[in-house]
Each structure stands twice: as structure tokens, then as C-alpha cells.
Chain A
Amino acid sequence: MTVEELFENQNAEMERQGELQNRIHCCTAAGCISCGADGVRHAVAAEIERQGLKGKVEVCGTGCLGLCGRGPMVWSAADGQLYGNVTAADAPALVATAPEARAPLADRAISPQDPFFAKQQRIVLAGSGRVDPERLPDYIAAGGYQALAKALTEMTSREVIAEVKKSGLRGRGGAGYPTGLKWELVAKQIPERKFIVCNADEGDPGAFMDRSVLEGDPHRVLEGMAIAGYAVGAQQGYIYVRGEYGLAIQRLQTAIKQAEREHLLGSRVLDTGFQFRIDLRIGAGAFVCGEETALIASIEGKRGQPRQRPPYPPESGLWGSPTLINNVETFANIPPIVRQGGEWFSAIGIEGSRGTKVFALAGKIRNTGLVEVPMGTTLRTILFEIGGGIPGGRFKAAQTGGPSGGCIPEQFLDIPVGYESLAKIGSIMGSGGLIVMDDSSCMVDVARFFMEFCMDESCGKCIPCRAGTVQMHDILLRVTRGEAAEEDIEMLREMAELLKDASLCGLGQTAPNPVVSTLRYFAEEYDAHIREHRCPAGHCKFEADPERKEVTA
């Protein structure tokens, strides 16, 4: 495909879709599939056939529509109406074009003015729910690959990097390193062989943003990676995707094949001299592989163990070559930045945290699902307006950043969300998992849960992490059983410092964060367990014998 053909194809597909009376988008992300979305889609297809509306009404699969808790979700393009909890029996009403025939669905209609949607700003998720992830023409109709075309034909690689720098985009994987600077570092390296790696090893429990982007709009990530390849001078990219994400893997494989067939990837991309290939690498279930040097080892077929940095991957990464590693969401931000300019992007958000952030809402919240908000939105807006609040309970804490993050108590609900503001209150932005806990969750047990996670996932290379997580978990376990003494808390604090200072990689360095943050904001819960052998949340079960409080070291 040449650049001209790209625009021709866009017009042709838009025209084709414009001639349809309706296009019914059935969410086929993993969440909706597990509540029967496939059945809905097939029923709608059969109904179109039965009513003889083929060519007039169309059904397509689509990426995450956001409200995962109310799946299966369906979006009807003609009237822009969204429906939740749809079943196969609703097919006739969905296909019907007359508004009165929609009556059976009325009670499950979700208004676009619903705060869940009204407060969001979709950049990364712009195509999710609108394009069929298995059809390249859909992505092209939505303006896909035009950013790549613009970069290749109108911009030098330096200009692309300048644009990304201007946007103020920071890494969305958790650490928040400025993306433009990272690109520049790789671009400066002398060796000719360079690599682009997309980190799709989304391991934080409670985070499913990357999965949804890959499932719902895979071409967007491919385009972002190709632009990065052009900017830093790499010809090969890898996507390291979690083995657990079967559907995302399948969709990526399809998308790569489609893009290669149309010369949007491969040699002579868009009929220019630029070549770029993308291969998938399937993870094998190791949380530590989200750490960049461990990820590199894993792509090289080794045990996923991190190594000492520096040298950092931009200097020496995959097979010793300069390597640019960015997260899925980071790459997904690139096409709109190139298309609309860095200035446009930097106008969104707050100082130091530009653009939007996708959060995965889960836990004790009414609207579980995927939301994208401008940086600087308060947690209160996210949880109580978009999320719909806590059903039947009282808000206790919001957990961000997974096992590397912290628990945010009620008094900070009004701070604007950003990299620095969250760090200041002892949590991190993390990759975007946002888990809400109400008063039935015991914060000590939550800390123990995350410590158990880190203990299991520690790769075992460095001692502070390998042994420290076991010791900390042991103490936390004793607290939850009412067997701990007050000195144990001091010991926990001491070990937390040690792990933070002495561990080799981010896993060990941040493993104490949930403990530190719960000690900071929920110290009274620790006290209640230790002194009164009581769990304020009523979660922990203590041994019947209250005399058993003395513990030998």
C-alpha cells in the first residue's frame, strides 16, 4: 500500500460504512466473551440474515467498550446507543431499525451522557469499541497508519522525536521515564542493529489496560512501534506478551499478518525505503519479566532474571544492541501524538503528567471496567462519578500500582492523579490498576497478599529480595493470625528500608511499598491485630486460644 492508497482505502471504507443502515458492534474483549458475547454476535448475524438485511445492517466484533461489569456490551452505531447485559434473545431488537422495536432493550440502555462516559477522554482507547480489531480496513477508516505515513514522508526521525518530547509523554508502564528522552538516547547510539521492544507483560494483579488495548485495537500498537522504529533507526521489533493473554496473542498475530500483507510492516513500508518487522514473544508466566533487563533475558530464551544496570537497555539491550523498551499504552499514544502534534497532547493533563491515563477499575466498585481520564483528574471523580461509588459499603482505600504501589486512604481522594502527586502520598501511578477496597478488606491482609505475591515472584537472584520477602511475609502472616508482637512492626520497617536500598531490581526495591503505605495510613489496624487480637474488617481469623500471643523468634 502506498500513502495515496492508504487515503483511498480510508475513503472507500468510510463510504461503505456510511451506506449501511446500522453497524452493530459487539464487544469481543475477553471480559465480555466470558459472559457470552460470542453468542450475542452470532445471534445478531443470524438475525440479519433472517430479516434479509444483509448489506444493510452489519455486525462486527469490537474491543473493550469499557463497562466490563455489565457485559456483554453492544454498541449500535446508527443511533450511538450502548446496551449492557445483552443476551442472544435480544438480537431481533438490536437488528430492528425502527426505534419502537428497541423497547425490550430500553431498560439496559446506557446513556452516552452517563458520567461513566461523560467524564472520560479517550485517546488510547479511541478506537477500542469503534473498530473491529480483526479488520485492518476498520483501523484505516479511523485514520490508522496515517501517523506512520506522516512520519515517513513529511518528517525526519529527529522531528518525530522532537514531537514526542514536546508532548511530554512519560512511560505508562509505571516508572514514568520521559518517552522522548528515551527515544533520543536510543537514536544517538552508534551501532546499526537496534531493537524496539513492546512490554506487554502486564503482570500487576488488577491491571488489564494493556490486554484491552491489544485485544481491541492491535494495529494502533503496531503503528506506534513502527514510528518508534523509524525515529530511533531500528528495523526489528518484538512484542513480549503474557502467555495468559490468549486472545490478545491471536489478535496481534492476525494484525501483524494483515499489516505485512499491505506493506504497512515488513520491507518497503508504505512504499518508502523504511523497513520494520515485528515478531511476538510469548511470556511464560513470570512477573519479574516486566522488569526490562529480565524481559530482555526472556526474549533471549533465558531465565527471566534481571541484571545490574547500567548499562541501560538503550545502550546495551537485546543481544547487546541498543534497545528501546516501552509499554503498550505508551506506544498506543504515539500515533495520535504524531498525527495531531506534541503541542495538542501537552495541553491535556497537568504539569509533569501530560495526556491521559487508562485505569482498570476493579474491586468494590459499582462500574468495574476500563476508563481513560486526563491526568490530573481526582480519584474522587474516577471512583465516585465514573466508577459509580461503592455498592453497599464504605470506601476504605484505593490500591494503585499493584505489588509495587500503595494504598491511598480517603483523605487523599481529592488530589489530582499524576506521577508526582501519587508518589508523594506513598503510592505510584503504576501501570493503571485501580482496586477499590471497602471496610470488609483488612489492610494488613492486603499487605500480606502483596508480599506473598512478591515472595513467589522473586526471581531469587539477589538475597535482599529472595530472603527479605520471605521474612516480611512471615511477620505479616503472624500479624494476621494475631501472633505478632510490637517489635515485629519495627522489624517490618527495618526490612522495608533494606529491601528498598539493597535489591537489584524494581521488584525487590518496591516490594515493601504496600507494607509501608498501610503502616502509614492504617497503623491502627496493625495495632488492633497485635494488641487486641481483633481484625477491624472481620477478615482475619484468629486461633481460638488468645494466650498464644507470645512468639519465639
Chain B
Amino acid sequence: MPANAPGSAVAAPKDNREKLLERAMSRHQYSGDALIEVLHTAQELYGYLSPALMKTVARKLRLPPSRVLGVASFYHFFSLKPKGEHTFVVCLGTACYVAGALGLVETLERRCARAGQTSADGKVSVQTARCIGACGLAPAVICDGVVLARVTPQTLSGELERIGVK
């Protein structure tokens, strides 16, 4: 199973996604108790949880759609909107916070999009995390699934230029 850290790039071949999701549900005998596992798989395959996708999951697991939406919207991990091409997750845990993580959020907000949103060109999603457990490396940013250590606004800008953000 791929590491589903926040911001890990999601790319699965489009054709067999349905089959893979079906397999995940059947592995759990279509039990409603497995809703969170199934949503994890669905998001891994499709990148985000669209209303249609949630309805499909609800039908197959024989759950009311409200329960699926309730769970999907409760947990931070599930994204109900499509993500950008690249994802930056700024850790705002205590260690990162006291090491100046807010400055990194400001940099990203100035150049890309507000935290929790995706830039207008769909290139970059900016997210914040509660604590990614990399406190020894504070402040840390996860860029497309890779943890960057001791980030400064300058190195972050360099990273943005690398992926072609003007």
C-alpha cells in the first residue's frame, strides 16, 4: 500500500479504478464498518471524494448517503474537492510553529492559494497539517509526499520555482 501521507501524489490508471475500489469493498465483505478503509482507497484512486463517488460507496455498503458524507466530512484526511497538480502541506505542529511555520504559510498564500485551497490555475494546493511528527526537522513542509526539513521562505520559493510557479 502506498504511503498515504497528506499530499502524496495520487495517480492510478483511470481504467481499472472501479475494479480496484470494488476489490477493496469485497475484501471487507461490503461491511459498513469498513467505510473509512473504503474511503481511503477511493481517495487514493480518484484523488478526492466526489458526490457521485460517495453515492456509489453508500449504495455498495448499504449505508445512507448522509452517513458517508458525515464520515467523509468529519475527517481532515478526506478531500471533497479535487486537488491541484502539486500539494504543499505546511506542518503547524508546536515545534514547527515556534520555528516560524506561519511565514511559510504566508509565502504559499501570497504566491499560490489560501491555506485549504487550490490555486486558480489548478497547479498548487496549499494545506496545513496539525503535526506530521517530524519535529526534529522543524519547520517541515510536505511537498508532493516528500518531507522537506528546516524550510525557510527562501527554500520554499526555490521549490515553487522548481515546479514552475511564477
Residue of chain A at shortest CB distance from B148: A34
The CA-CA distance from A185 to B97 in the complex, in Å, is: 41
Q: How many residues of B contact A (CB 8 A)?
A: 47
A450 smallest CB distance to B (angstroms): 8
Q: A71-B136, A435-B94 in contact; A282/B130 too (CB < 8 A)?
A: no
The CA-CA distance from A132 to B142 in the complex, in Å, is: 26
> B94 and A286: CB pair below 8 A?
no
Contact with A along B103-134 (1 / 0, CB 8 A): 00000000000000000000000000111111
> A208 and B98: CB pair below 8 A?
no
> B140 and A34: CB pair below 8 A?
yes
B87 lies within 8 A of chain A by Cβ? no
Task: Give chain B residues whose Cβ lies under 8 Å from the Cβ of A33.
Answer: 147
> B36 and A298: CB pair below 8 A?
yes
Question: Among A89-97, A110-118, A246-254, A420-428, which stretch is in contact with chain B?
Answer: A246-254
B34 lies within 8 A of chain A by Cβ? yes
> B94 and A362: CB pair below 8 A?
yes
B95 lies within 8 A of chain A by Cβ? yes
Cross-chain contact of B4 among A31, A207, A208, A243 (Cβ < 8 A): A243
A224 lies within 8 A of chain B by Cβ? no
A441 lies within 8 A of chain B by Cβ? yes
Task: Give chain A residues whose Cβ lies under 8 Å from the Cβ of B36.
Answer: 281-282, 284, 298, 301
Task: Give chain B residues whose Cβ lies under 8 Å from the Cβ of A35.
Answer: 137, 149
> A211 and B75: CB pair below 8 A?
no
A69 lies within 8 A of chain B by Cβ? yes
> A206 and B148: CB pair below 8 A?
no
The CA-CA distance from A246 to B146 in the complex, in Å, is: 11
Within 8 A of A (CB), among B45-99: 67, 70-71, 74-78, 92-95, 97-99
A402 lies within 8 A of chain B by Cβ? yes
Q: Which of B32, B70, B78, B135 has the most CB of A within 10 A?
A: B135
Query: Could you list which residues of chain B lie within 8 angstroms of chain A, going by C-beta atoms?
Result: 1-6, 8, 31-37, 39-40, 67, 70-71, 74-78, 92-95, 97-99, 129-138, 140, 145-149
> A30 and B94: CB pair below 8 A?
no
Task: Give chain B residues whose Cβ lies under 8 Å from the Cβ of A300.
Answer: 33
Residue of chain B at shortest CB distance from A303: B74
The CA-CA distance from A71 to B149 in the complex, in Å, is: 10
The CA-CA distance from A450 to B93 in the complex, in Å, is: 10
Task: Give chain A residues whose Cβ lies under 8 Å from the Cβ of B132.
Answer: 244
A517 lies within 8 A of chain B by Cβ? no
Q: Give the number of residue pairs across the A-B interface with Cβ within 8 Å.
A: 155
Cross-chain contact of B3 among A71, A206, A249, A363 (Cβ < 8 A): A249
Residue of chain B at shortest CB distance from A399: B94
Cross-chain contact of B131 among A204, A243, A286 (Cβ < 8 A): A204
Residue of chain B at shortest CB distance from A69: B136
Within 8 A of B (CB), among A20-79: 30-31, 33-35, 68-69, 71
A417 lies within 8 A of chain B by Cβ? no
Cross-chain contact of B40 among A34, A243, A250, A402 (Cβ < 8 A): A243
Cross-chain contact of A301 among B1, B5, B71, B94 (Cβ < 8 A): B71
The CA-CA distance from A211 to B131 in the complex, in Å, is: 12
> A208 and B134: CB pair below 8 A?
yes
> A303 and B136: CB pair below 8 A?
no
Would you list the 3 A-B pairs with minimal beta carbon distance, nearest first?
A246-B3, A68-B136, A284-B75
B143 smallest CB distance to A (angstroms): 11
A244 smallest CB distance to B (angstroms): 6
> B75 and A437: CB pair below 8 A?
no
Residue of chain A at shortest CB distance from B100: A440
Residue of chain A at shortest CB distance from B71: A303
Task: Give chain A residues whose Cβ lies under 8 Å from the Cβ of B6.
Answer: 243-244, 285
Task: Give chain A residues whose Cβ lies under 8 Å from the Cβ of B130.
Answer: 203, 205, 285, 287, 453, 457
> B98 and A304: CB pair below 8 A?
no
Task: Give chain B residues whose Cβ lies under 8 Å from the Cβ of A69.
Answer: 136-137
Q: A31-B136, A360-B135, A435-B95 in contact; A250/B33 too (CB < 8 A)?
A: no
List, sorted by A's number, 13 A–B pairs whose CB atoms are closer than 8 Å.
Answer: A30-B134, A31-B136, A205-B131, A242-B133, A249-B1, A284-B78, A285-B77, A286-B75, A300-B33, A303-B74, A368-B136, A437-B98, A453-B130
Task: Give chain A residues whose Cβ lies under 8 Å from the Cβ of B134.
Answer: 30-31, 34, 208
> B131 and A207: CB pair below 8 A?
yes
> B149 and A34: CB pair below 8 A?
yes
A364 lies within 8 A of chain B by Cβ? yes
Task: Give chain A residues whose Cβ lies under 8 Å from the Cβ of B37.
Answer: 281-282, 301
B157 smallest CB distance to A (angstroms): 19
Within 8 A of B (CB), among A440-465: 441, 446, 449-450, 453, 457, 459
> A449 and B97: CB pair below 8 A?
yes
Task: Give chain B residues whose Cβ lies under 8 Å from the Cβ of A281.
Answer: 36-37
B68 smallest CB distance to A (angstroms): 10
The CA-CA distance from A360 to B134 in the complex, in Å, is: 10
Cross-chain contact of B137 among A31, A207, A303 (Cβ < 8 A): A31
Q: Can you name 4 extra interface pairs (CB under 8 A) apart from A206-B93, A244-B133, A301-B35?
A: A69-B136, A205-B130, A207-B131, A301-B32
Task: Give chain B residues whose Cβ lies under 8 Å from the Cβ of A369.
Answer: 136
> A282 and B4: CB pair below 8 A?
yes
> A282 and B94: CB pair below 8 A?
no
A245 lies within 8 A of chain B by Cβ? yes
> A34 and B135: CB pair below 8 A?
no
The CA-CA distance from A244 to B92 in the complex, in Å, is: 14
Task: Give chain A residues whose Cβ lies under 8 Å from the Cβ of B93.
Answer: 205-206
A433 lies within 8 A of chain B by Cβ? yes
